[in-house]
Chains A and B, each alone.
Chain A
Amino acid sequence: MLQLISLLMENKPGALMRVTGVLTARGYNIESLTVARTLDPELSRMSIVVDIEPNQRAQLIKQMNKLINVLQASDLTEAPAVRRELVLVRVRAGMKDRTAILKEAEIFGARAVDSSVEGFALEATGDPEKLNEFIDVMRAYGEIEVTRSGLVAVSLEQKKLKLAPPIQKEEGVLQNG
């Protein structure tokens, strides 16, 4: 079953590898993954969609939360959250289809971000099912090329972020705070 995991993590080399390592070590295939810096440039937000057995969900979240670089991993699969994906579609279109394509795009809330004699580059955002439909429709007009961003999500719940406090180092002995 597809699971949606959202992580807040330190923006450090290797952090991404540690998170994906939790999945690859167990032989899970990642459906999509997006990661970018947050307002705090030292942190990143990652959204992962991964196909795993439902009874392993809690264990995977715990394993991710164990990673030193991860501040919080949460399962948004069934949580109230906004989920969106972006798709860029390049569609080859002859002169006779151009108007029809733009009209269809408008129905899906997509817009043309490039136009040439060859055709258009279109940008659409939405939930993945809606984007699938959009892609299907565009395919009807001929050869297309598609790049999808993968799902990004934001939780609608106010979740308190628990962080470990700094630890004072005294006389060469570290005291757990």
Chain B
Amino acid sequence: MLLSGAKIVLECLAREKVDCVFGYPGGVMLPLYDALYDCPIRHVLVRHEQNACFAAEGYARSTGKTGVCMATSGPGATNLVTGLVDAMMDSIPVVAITGQVTTKLIGSDAFQEADTFGITRSCTKHNFMVKTLGDLPQAIHEAFHIASSGRPGPVLVDIPKDVFQAQAHYTPVSHIHLPGYKVYTEGHAGQIRRAAQMIWDAKRPFVYSGGGIVAADASDELREFVELVDLPAVTTLMGLGSLSSEHPNFISMPGMHGSYAANMGMTETDLLIALGTRFDDRVTGRLSAFAPHAKIIHVDIDPAEIGKNRAADIPIVGDVKRVLARLSQALVETAPELKNKNATARAAWWMQIKEWQREHPLEPEISMDEIKPQHLVSEIDRLSGGEAIVASDVGQHQMWAAQFIRFHHPRLWLNSGGLGSMGFGLPSAIGAQFARPDKLVFALVGDGGFQMSIPELATIANHALPVKIIVMNNGYLGMVRQWQELFYNNRLCAVQLDTFPDPEKLAGAYGFKGRTVERPRELRSALETAVREPGPYLLNVRVSPFENVYPMVPAGAAINEMVLGERETVSS
């Protein structure tokens, strides 16, 4: 069958079961978009390429399927960069297809030419520049395989215009071979056995699980594992929902804005069981003081994560889903006398953790005079009931949401964890709503990040996407303001967002409803109205401007050295 390169790309996408792509056309992409005209794959026209990548991430994060975005050469490709790095940092499977200038013009500073292959090398798990049509199908399928397997990540395929236009006989790719791409999934049997032994031997075991549980679809295995030994567990910002927030063994998120109990548990444990997580600096605080009494079991599919920040006593390279299943089996098969050896100590450990929870619980502040930001997130939590998708932007609201919104399942909490990209919330909510049309999707954004993504209101309006945009509006870049207040003598510099558009007029300009709410007693009904509205809704919530996120571990401190409130500090 004689097909153009453009048609071959779409044929390969169809074979990868792609049903929806997010993109923005341009000169060199014309042949591909011409082929899209006849193609059943849905193309969502975003209003900025960066948001195409964020939307593809939202699609991927909410489903586990690979998200796809497209952009033209030059500025189109460079605009993807932030999204690619974001997907890289959070290990999200995304395939980006970019157009490139005609092969004979490459390197001539042609119109809209940029060295996309060079620029995106460090932003991707792998990238391709396809200079001959013969290599095209292979490259596309390899891209999907690399993006979605092992530790997932973004892969970019750069395709010159003449490769889209050339014609060739298309034969489907029968196999792919990447000899250097080794993925170890099974986990070492001996190490798994030793880990089981070490868990029963521990007196104060503690589970520290991360985004790897979500990526590996290992929530069931995690739940069975923690229940088997009745282990206290924290899930990181990236892992929220992988163990239900209502599960009795779930403590909270740990780290810089983690709960007192989570951080004390991490500090006092004698065995830290790290599952699909990477000892990020926002979790560990000062590394030399992190979990000082603990032995470490570290399970990760990426061998480079093991020992990167903290040496592991038992390193296990493997797919955390398979490793956990086998670890649980090994735990069951242990002799009963060994199982009961430390039962009393473990019961006392739980008592201690419960006491920490009682001493300093995570409790939302509520005032009758002004809407506290914590009040807003707890009202969203009430409406969600642990079931809605919450796509968050970056900053204070993100941390409060992570503290107070419950998630009963993985893939409901979408946020830019590693890179912390402002402007992520709204476009990722768009991607999630396309992927999960049945779901209630909140875009919970700050007034800063929202103003970075306002153009996407058009995309939302175009498709009448019922995304509920909740702006936590404190008139400041709140997290930066908080740091200036606490660590720079309250010299507030370039953090005040004086101007914010009238939400009723702004949403109205796009043809949907919006309003501002500023009285605490109106908050609940305003949110309920937003959710009841069949289409999109923009709710601007004026919250108290000077609220800080607590607990807080200052930069460079150990995680048990928390600032719990305006005047309350804990130190070791």
Contact = CB atoms under 8 A, between A and B. Distances in A.
Interface of A: 9-10, 13-14, 17-18, 21, 25, 58-59, 62-63, 65-72, 162-169, 172-174, 176
A174 B144 contact: yes
25 contacts: A10-B179, A14-B117, A14-B127, A25-B122, A62-B304, A65-B182, A66-B304, A68-B125, A68-B178, A69-B180, A163-B179, A163-B182, A164-B178, A164-B181, A164-B182, A164-B183, A167-B177, A168-B175, A169-B172, A169-B174, A172-B14, A174-B141, A174-B176, A176-B149, A176-B183
A150 to B, nearest CB: 23
A165 B176 CA distance: 9
B247 interface: no
Interface residues of B, number: 35
Closest 8 CB pairs of A and B: A172-B15, A62-B304, A166-B177, A163-B179, A71-B180, A68-B126, A164-B182, A166-B175
Nearest to B15: A172
A48 to B, nearest CB: 17
Interface string B141-178: 10011100100000000000000000000001111111
A11 to B, nearest CB: 12
Given A59-B304, A62-B303, A63-B304, A14 B177 contact: no
B118 A164 contact: no
Given A174-B141, A176-B149, A164 B304 contact: no
B75 interface: no
A167 B175 contact: yes
A68 B129 CA distance: 14
A8 to B, nearest CB: 9
B463 interface: no
Contacts of B144: 174
B360 interface: no
B385 interface: no
A38 to B, nearest CB: 13
Contact of B176 (A59, A71, A167): A167
B17 interface: yes
Contacts of B149: 174, 176
Interface string B528-571: 00000000000000000000000000000000000000000000
Interface string B103-122: 00000000000000110011
Nearest to B176: A167
Contact of B180 (A17, A164, A165, A176): A164
Given A14-B121, A68-B181, 7 more contacts: A13-B129, A62-B303, A63-B304, A66-B304, A68-B178, A165-B177, A166-B176
Interface in B493-533: none
A10 B142 CA distance: 15
Contact of B145 (A9, A25, A72, A167): A167
Given A169-B175, A172-B15, A21 B304 contact: no
Contacts of A66: 302-304
A162 B181 CA distance: 10
A14 B180 contact: no
A64 B535 CA distance: 49
B180 to A, nearest CB: 5
B175 A17 contact: no
B307 interface: yes
Contacts of B180: 9-10, 67-72, 163-164
Contacts of A21: 121-122
A175 to B, nearest CB: 10
Nearest to A61: B304
Contacts of A172: 14-17
B118 to A, nearest CB: 7
A168 to B, nearest CB: 5
Contacts of B177: 164-167
Contacts of B303: 62, 65-66
A163 B303 CA distance: 16
Nearest to A24: B122
A10 B179 CA distance: 9
A41 to B, nearest CB: 15
